[in-house]
Structure 1
Amino acid sequence: MMTTNLLWAILLYFLQPVFIIGLIYAYFNHKQRVKYSREHFRVNFNRTNFEIKDYLMKGLLPGLILSMVSIFLGIPLTLEWYLIYQATTIVLLLLGGSRFIHPLFTFSISSILLYMSDRFEVGLNLNKLKPLLNEKLFNLDFELETISPLLNNILIFMLLILLLTIFMMKKQEENKVFPMLSDSKRGKKVAKYPNKILWVLPMAIIVPGNIIEPFAKWWPLFNIGSERYALVLLPVLVGLHYTVSSQLLRIAREKIQKDFINLFLVGGIGVIFAYFYPAVSIWLTGVLLVLGIFVMYRHRRREKMANIQYGPADIGLRVIAVRPDSPAERLNLSIGDLILTINDIDMESRAEFNEVLAYNRSYIKLRIQRTDGEIVIAETPLYDDDYNNLGLLLLDE
């Protein structure tokens, strides 16, 4: 019986709408990248389906950590809030992709909607879904005795996920960011990099037992004080979408991280204050939502004010993509580098590059200018299975 219950709990996790729609979005994001690569670069440059793999796998360890913290602290949430969260996340994902799918936004908006529904006594009207749902759902009482402690619990989860996101951004791999081409004001092709981050975080949360028990009497319950609770595994989507073209990818990411750290500190102080004065929870939620939007707006302002980093140079060929597990990666090439010479021959066009490479398919020596101006020499043997030249995309005049 215990094994059956566990299998049902796992199945319910994968069947939740927010998980399914997030997976569909990751799949179409993968297909869009492959289609763009073939149309504009005449090759499926990165053959891995990292979008789907990251979606399914990247949140597992953070989810485990967050679940352990949730269980250890005994922080309860309500099913009503999570229903609103699912609806909010799905709407935002369909309207704007992963741009505002981070819990910084979805949790905040869901909490505000819950607060408004409680304030103006707007109930969940599920009568139209009655033929599709369990009859017992309509006998449940979703009324909240006090909403402020709940909002503070949600703020704690939101800040913990924000902290995990800050650490995860440090490990973001540049070779998973694929370029798109656009025209500069001077009519030249330049590369820009949409960072579409989306992964699902399996989060074990505590919900009141009276919500679960009518549906599944077999679901294990436990006591916290005099109240009975159940442990439920819920999918939480963590996403961001920001484009980089006028800053170095690493610098842009570090600046967003710094802004998120400052936001986390502000939120942490606010949560401590809200613990003693619960009524400020809703105001803190609104402040963090506004500050989160401001962080993304600030990034866009920095992009507009900076010079384009990934355009053609007066000398050499600009590297705009590096394929994982390729000779280019062995050469330690990075996005934004300039290839000045190949086998001691000056490079001025991709045609010259391909011609020199075709002449010697067993060994290559590059003279490279890094994004910080440093000149380095890199060399490597080439093998028969090294496809797509060196495994890089180049931008010239």
Structure 2
Amino acid sequence: MVQIWLVELLKGMGKLFLHPVLYYLVFLAGILGVMRVKRERKNFHIRAQDAYFELRQVFPLGLVVGMILSVVVVTAGITVPFAAILLIAGFTLLWSLTTNVRLMSPVYTVGAAFFTIILLAENNWSIPLFSNAFDSISDKVYPSVVVVLGLLLIAEGILIFKNGSKGTSPKITKSKRGQSVGAHEVKRLWMLPLFLLIPGDALQLPFDWWPVFHLGANEYSLILVPFAIGFHQQIKGMLPNEAIELHGRRVIVLGVLISLLSIVGYWYPLLSIVVAALAVIGRESLALITIMKDDSLPFYFSKKNNGLMIIGIIPESPASKMGLKTGEIITKANGVLVRDEKSFYEALQKNRAHCKLEVLDTKGEIRFVQRALYEGDHHELGVLFVQDEHKYKEKIG
């Protein structure tokens, strides 16, 4: 039995590379990176992260979370009809065409697939080339799909909490009064591979090569499915890491609630429909609440009378090596009070070999940082500020 499982696991992992969603996510992540770099260069004449940053975030954490969830799903014997896998992939591609990355959240792709399965089964509809997969579904409700939806919601919350605040992108925007203010934005795609048990022989045509094995009198196929998880949030009124981690915790709580309720669907299948709808409404409500809360707060990244607000730090720059952080305020440079970028860079020129800064951190406490400057170091230390009004107009003009 152990040998059978090991063989099927290896075969299922190998077939992951035949799934189009895997390559589509890589393509979309590359597009997001290029678009972000263009916007950052427009705002600051320099990019904060390289264009491959989003691409590097697609796999690592998602692979770990996916393998943990796979153990839960396979151990619990949760089976999902192959028709659901096909529809999830289809809706992932469809929602991506809206250019709204957030709609690639599992709650929208898996949720849409769940309700579509019910609609297809009720009307005895099928899809060309995959008629065998859709003919195998009955007119019953599949609570297992909602269980997977709840688990994926938990995974989404973990990814947002752990990875969402990493490398958020600074941007210049306008307040309602037309003043230049700063904000942070994150557009992220993750790939979460999940082993699923497919009941019966739905994969036989047109997938004759797919491994099929038996557990007792039941027949199953083991497939490794790449789920897409999309996330988009713009933060104006808080530190980006605090806002994103708060949002991640809320999504985790929603995911736990949906997972617990979805289990009841095995005894009361019709309740699964209510739980799936609750998942969609809940996830959309969290997004709306986050936007409304952020809009109600004053702009965090705005011009300050007591110094220069840092909106971003270039990785591997002198500022990064000095330990400067987003949201801190530089009050003095080389002993000179600074109130704008001009006075800041003039103060730096007083000593081109050494830089000493007085900084007001995000807790309101003063600290001092200093570093020797070397030939080849970034001439502006690698610090991004909210631009002066005339400089911002020049950059967008």
The alignment partner of 2:223 has SS state of strand
The corresponding residue for 1:240 is: 231
Is 1:201 aligned to residue 204 of structure 2? no
Q: 1:147-204: per-residue Cα shift (whole Å, max 9, x none)?
A: 33x3x21222222222233333333364511112112233321112222121111112
Greater CA drift, 377-386 or 78-87: 377-386
1:356 to 344, 347, 360: 347
Q: 1:62 to 1:5 in 2, by over 3 A?
A: closer
Work out whether residues 221 and 229 of structure 1, in 8 Å CA contact, stay in contact via their aligned partners in 2. Answer: yes
Q: Give TM-score scaled by structure 2 length.
A: 0.88
What is the distance in 2 between the residues matched to 1:86 and 1:285? Answer: 18
Instruction: Identify which of 377, 381, 396 aligns with 1:390.
Output: 381
**Contact 1:318/1:396 (8 A) holds in 2:** no
Partner of residue 19, structure 1: 22
Q: How does 1:162-177 map to 2 (within 5 A)?
A: 162-172=153-163, 174=165, 176-177=167-168
1:347–1:193 Cα change, 3 Å: same
- 1:325: Cα distance to partner? 2.9
The residue matched to 1:393 in structure 2 has which SS?
strand
Q: Does 1:142 align with 2:139?
A: no
2:57 is the counterpart of 1:54: yes
Task: Choose from 100, 118, 131 the match for 2:121.
Answer: 118
**Within the alignment, does 1:32 sit opposite 2:25 as a pair?**
no
The DSSP-based 3-state class of the residue aligned with 1:206 is strand
**CA distance in 1: counterparts of 2:373 and 2:226, whole angstroms:** 44
Q: Distance in 2 between matches of 1:294 and 1:75?
A: 28
CA distance in 1: counterparts of 2:212 and 2:297, whole angstroms: 56
Matches within 5 A, 1:250-261: 250-261=241-252
Structure 2 counterpart of 1:71, one-letter code: V
Q: Aligned residue for 2:261?
A: 270
The DSSP-based 3-state class of the residue aligned with 2:229 is: strand
Q: Confirm or deny: 8 A CA contact 1:5 1:218 kept in the other structure.
A: no
What is the CA–CA distance in structure 2 between the aligned matches of 1:9 and 1:223, rounded to whole Å? 15
Per-residue Cα deviation, 1:27-73 (whole angstroms, up to 9, x for no partner): 11111112122222222332361101111333111121122222222
Shift of the 212–385 alpha-carbon distance from structure 1 to 2, 3 Å rule, reads farther
Distance 1:252 1:140 in 2: 43
Query: How many Å separate the matches in 2 of 1:122 and 1:86?
Result: 18
Aligned-partner Cα distance in 2 for 1:394–1:50:
21
* C-alpha RMSD over aligned residues: 2.6
CA distance in 1, matches of 2:229, 2:340: 41
1:374 is matched with which residue? 365
Shift of 1:385: 4.4
> In 1, Cα distance between the equivalents of 2:94 and 2:63?
24
Task: State the Cα distance separating 1:308 from its structure 2 match.
Answer: 0.8
Residues 246-325 of structure 1 correspond to what in structure 2 (within 5 A)? 246-325=237-316
In structure 1, distance between residues paired with 2:42 and 2:359:
28
**2:322 counterpart of 1:331:** yes
Q: 1:389 to 1:92 in 2, by over 3 A?
A: same
Unaligned runs of 5+ in 2: 389-397
Q: Does the 8 A contact of 2:154 with 2:254 survive in 1?
A: no
Tell me the SS of whatever aligns to 1:84. helix
C-alpha distance in 1 between matches for 2:194 and 2:259 = 20
Letter in 2 for 1:268: S
3-state SS of 1:360 partner: coil
Identity level (%): 25
Partners of 1:312 and 1:396 in 2: how far apart? Answer: 9
- Change in 2 beyond 3 A, CA 1:138/1:286: closer
The answer (yes or no) to whether the contact 2:201–2:212 under 8 Å persists in 1 is no
Please list every run of 5 or more consecutive structure 1 residues that lacks an aligned counterpart in the other structure: 131-136
For residues 74-153 of structure 1, the aligned pairs below 5 Å read 74-124=77-127, 126=128, 137-138=130-131, 142-145=135-138, 147-148=140-141, 150=142, 152-153=143-144
Amino acid at match of 1:278: P
Shift of 1:245: 0.8
Assess if the C-alpha contact under 8 Å between 2:13 and 2:223 holds in 1: no
Kindly provide the amino acid, as one letter, of the partner of residue 14 in structure 1: F
Q: Comparing 296-305 with 254-263, which one deviates more in the overlay?
A: 254-263
TM-score scaled by structure 1?
A: 0.88
Aligned partners of 1:101 and 1:239 also within 8 Å: yes
CA contact (8 A) 1:313 1:396 kept: no
Aligned to 1:311, the other structure's residue is in SS state coil
With over 3 angstroms needed to count, the CA separation of the structure-2 counterparts of 1:200 and 1:337, relative to structure 1, is same
Spell out the pairing of 1:54-73 with structure 2 (5 A cutoff): 54-73=57-76
Distance 1:273 1:7 in 2: 33
> Does the 8 Å contact 1:174/1:335 carry over to 2?
no
